[in-house]
Chains A and B, each alone.
Chain A
Amino acid sequence: MTWDLDQKRIFLVGGPGGVGKTTLAAALALELSSRGYKTLVLTVDPAKRLAQALGFKDFATSLQKVSVPGYPEAQLTASMLDSEHYFDKVIERFAKSPEQKKKILENRLYRTMVESLGGSHEYAAMERLLEFSTSSEYDKIIVDTPPTQNALDLLNAPKRLADFMDTSVLKWFQKKGGFQLFQRGTQIAMKALHTILGSEFLDNLSVFLNDLEGMQAGFRSRHLAVIELFKNPSTSFVLVTQASEARFLESVEFQKALNKEGVRLDRLVLNRLEVSEDSPISGELCEESRLWLRSVNQYFRELHLVQAKWAEAFQSALKISTVKIYRKLSPLNDIKTLQELGKELTVNEV
């Protein structure tokens, strides 16, 4: 069985950090572009070496063209996600007036929020994806999603923002002194909040939320759009992970969380499996060398067997199509090796 790539338009490559997601996303992009699709790959914090392998000095947030060896007609574009200024851009987009924009961008609470959320790529990834998914410029879009062990982080990124600006929460804080309109319970709650958080914080928050008035609908609609995109049958969610117990337990949870939201995993990639030889000794060798080779082989053999055991557990628990990728002997720092990896990823089905 091969992967029905024609039916899919968006590929979300997800999984924990350090499992080779970014590399596999790039490999998939190379393969799709060489099949004649206009392809875009969006990536987060990529390794310098991968950027170099794709032929540019560094990844940039602008769109960069990649030339695909052997396929002069191939159209491949790569771009890095800019999460630093993401929030400012969102505010700019949804602000009703230049005054509102300025007020929010200068609010102390907003700056604190941005600083504390600035590191989360989830928001940026989803926003960029929405941006490109609505344009017809690309046939295939691959998103190397931010490293997360948590499916909901990704899915709920815009939701958390929208929740923050939920009208019911806003109502309390907007228009100072408006609390008396609410029931007694809310009054007690506000008093308690004053005691706990202090009035300075609440005043700040109130000002901030007042400034955001009218923007929440925009955030809400982004969240719904992300959910729709994830559920769309033309979207493929690819989980990249490794064959070990911890990764197994976490992947089962990951799938459960996605399914709860109505999102299905499309394909599992077990990356960097160890290869193991049957007889490691070839040729005339001294005893010390033979001992060394035997013990090294024994070690990889054991790793291989443990991984095989967990690979089986993965397949029987997740029940989705699975690709096994074996560890490469040479580092993946040239485009040819990446192309081969792309082929392996799309054809090799277990």
Chain B
Amino acid sequence: MKQSYLQSILDKQVLFFSGKGGVGKSALTSATALLCQRYGKKVFLVSWNPFDAPSRSLPYKALGIEQLILDGPSCFKEYAVGILKFEKLYDLVFQNKIFQTFISVSPGLTETVIAGKVWDLKDKNPDALILVDLPSSGHAFTFFSSPLGLRKLFRLGLVHRELERICEMFLSPKTLLNFVTLPEDLPVTETLEFKKKLASLGSFNFGFTFLNQCLPHFPGKAPEESLSGPSLTLLKQYQALKAQEKEAEEILKTTGMSQIKITRLTCPEWITTVEAISEELDKQ
């Protein structure tokens, strides 16, 4: 029997959502969080969008979701203070421009400390579900590749242990990697390429592909009569979008992942959209 979306995620600990910018990652992550929360699951929504995060401006608070925005320097600080034991000592030595620069530009360091924070969150809340809204694909790849690549560089020290844990979390059966995409050429192609690249890094558990912004079902029947004027325009408009959708579905099938179609809604606000998507996910 086929499992529902909810059933297949409730026993997980970490869900990653990735996809091209602007495909609705934040909306899908939030809708999933909302859904799980409604079923009594403790959830944390982790956004990692470096610098001037657009996700910062989205109204999560109004949705009642606990959101954590992570950034490199503060995650590094948390990690280092844990080791050094004294925050004052950290401030004394690290709170200067040179060290801050070092932290933000060292290859893979930001990604690794952020992944470390996710691990930490999971470790402290074993019953919770952590949903990670990843930045757009290029950065998301770094997020996964850095700890896996750095593991080879650090064979000693605290960092080695930390990296081992992170990699274990990435590949754990309790972790799922989901993709969000649109029924269009470029985002779909990118999803396929991204999945292939990730699969070459390690054996991740791939979860769902969300095909966002699909057409809803309309009552009545598409006209079979010969049309002209506005009726014809409308039918063409519908058919053009439907054809794109079909093609995207076919291409995404090749990933072997479960596909979930999400309707494009006419809600004017982001919050109402997220709530409606969450209801839709409940029926999947």
Contacts and interface: CB of A to CB of B under 8 A. Distances in A.
A164 interface: yes
Per DSSP, chain A at the interface is: helix
Interface string B140-182: 0110011001101111111110000000000000000000001
A49 B247 CA distance: 14
Contact of A120 (B84, B138, B220, B240): B138
Given A195-B158, A285-B225, A306-B268, A299 B216 contact: yes
A47 B237 contact: no
Given A291-B220, A295-B219, A282 B106 contact: no
Given A189-B99, A277-B233, A204 B153 contact: yes
B158 A169 contact: no
A289 B268 contact: no
A112 B153 contact: yes
Interface stretch (A13-21, A127-135, A222-230, A314-322): A13-21
A119 B80 CA distance: 29
Given A18-B21, A189-B93, A282 B231 contact: yes
A198 B111 contact: no
A233 B239 CA distance: 44
Interface residues on A, range: 35 or more
Interface in B202-245: 215-216, 218-225, 227-238, 240, 244
Interface in A1-20: 15-19
B184 to A, nearest CB: 6
Contacts of A280: 230-231, 234
10 contacts: A119-B142, A146-B138, A147-B136, A150-B52, A196-B158, A249-B57, A282-B232, A289-B221, A289-B225, A306-B267
Interface of A: 15-19, 22, 45, 47-49, 108-109, 112-113, 115-117, 119-121, 146-153, 160, 163-164, 166, 168-169, 172, 185-186, 188-189, 192, 195-201, 204-205, 241-242, 244-247, 249-250, 252-254, 256-257, 275, 277-297, 299-300, 302-303, 306, 309-310, 327, 329-331
Interface of B: 20-24, 26-27, 49-54, 56-58, 79-80, 83-84, 89-90, 92-94, 96, 98-99, 101-102, 104-108, 111, 136-139, 141-142, 145-146, 149-150, 152-160, 182, 184-187, 189-190, 215-216, 218-225, 227-238, 240, 244, 264, 266-270
Given A17-B187, A150-B51, 14 more contacts: A18-B20, A113-B107, A117-B107, A163-B104, A200-B153, A204-B153, A281-B230, A283-B231, A291-B221, A296-B238, A303-B264, A306-B266, A306-B267, A330-B240
